[in-house]
Amino acid sequence: MLTRIDHVGIACHDLEATAEFYRRVYGLEVAHEEVNEEQGVREAMLRVGGTADGHWACVQLLQPLTDDSPVAKFLQRNGEGVHHVAFGTADVAATAETVGQRGVRVLDPEPRHGTAGSRITFLHPKDCGGVLTELVEAADDSAAKS
Ligand code: V0V
Ligand code: CO
């Protein structure tokens, strides 16, 4: 059902400064950058390593676009740090339905637009041991659907 850790989302105040930290300390480069108005973020993906299913495990840096967005609220409450964990799946709608039947609140009944043409849905952190969890079907994940 889950095929990889797709990314770890990290909330930050300044995307450029945080990306520069990852470049200077680890030598990681920004592979993709995007504004997602619906999610209220500017985000940058940094590829860390390849996964067994042929994708990349990434760090996703998140800077809020507005003061009332989820990431802005998180920063006000917790400061910078780990915001969510995202798991890859070949079929985000099917996986969300399955975990929903297992008692986890699915925050997006219809998958939403995610980074680089992916389809994403979030699971409520209170049902996931305090971890805001994202399911992500990458643009080319559906090729793995049977
Ligand atoms: C909130 N809580 C969290 C949390 N955010 N716990 C762990 N990790 C987080 N990131 C806790 C919070 O401390 C509260 O606990 C409780 O949940 C309710 O939080 P709230 O902020 O007062 O309530 P809500 O319901 O307004 O917002 C929480 C949720 C919201 C999770 C429902 O943030 C949401 O819908 N997030 C999904 C969308 C999102 O985060 N998008 C940005 C990433 P107590 O105080 O009650 O104990 S976009 C992205 O990743 C993209 C585009 C991508 O990957 O492609
Ligand atoms: Co994410």
Q: Kindly tell me if the per-residue pLDDT of 135 is higher than 50.
A: yes
Work out the average pLDDT over 26-43. Answer: 98
Q: Which residue has the least CA distance to atom 43 on ligand 1?
A: 39
Pairwise CA distance, residues 81 & 46, whole Å:
16
Report the atom number in ligand 1 closest to the C-alpha of 114: 55
Three-state SS across 65-126? CCCCCHHHHHHHHHCCEEEEEEEECCCHHHHHHHHHHCCCCECCCCCEECHHHCEEEEECHH
The reported pLDDT for the residue numbered 146 is 40
Q: Which amino acid is at 85?
A: V
Please state the domain extents for the chain: 4-144
Give 141's pLDDT tier (boundaries 50, 70, 90): confident
Neighbours of ion ligand 2 (CB under 5 A): 9, 60, 86, 134
Q: Kindly tell me if the per-residue pLDDT of 31 is higher than 70.
A: yes
Work out the average pLDDT over 88-95. Answer: 97
Do the interacting molecules here have an ipTM over 0.90?
yes
Give 143's pLDDT tier (boundaries 50, 70, 90): low
Work out the average pLDDT over 33-47. Answer: 98
Which CATH fold topology does 4-144 show?
A: 2,3-Dihydroxybiphenyl 1,2-Dioxygenase; domain 1 (3.10.180)
- Name the catalytic one among 55, 60, 83, 137: 60
Q: How far is the CA of 47 from the centre of ligand 2 (A)?
A: 13
113 alpha carbon, closest ligand:
1
Q: Kindly tell me if the per-residue pLDDT of 142 is higher than 70.
A: no
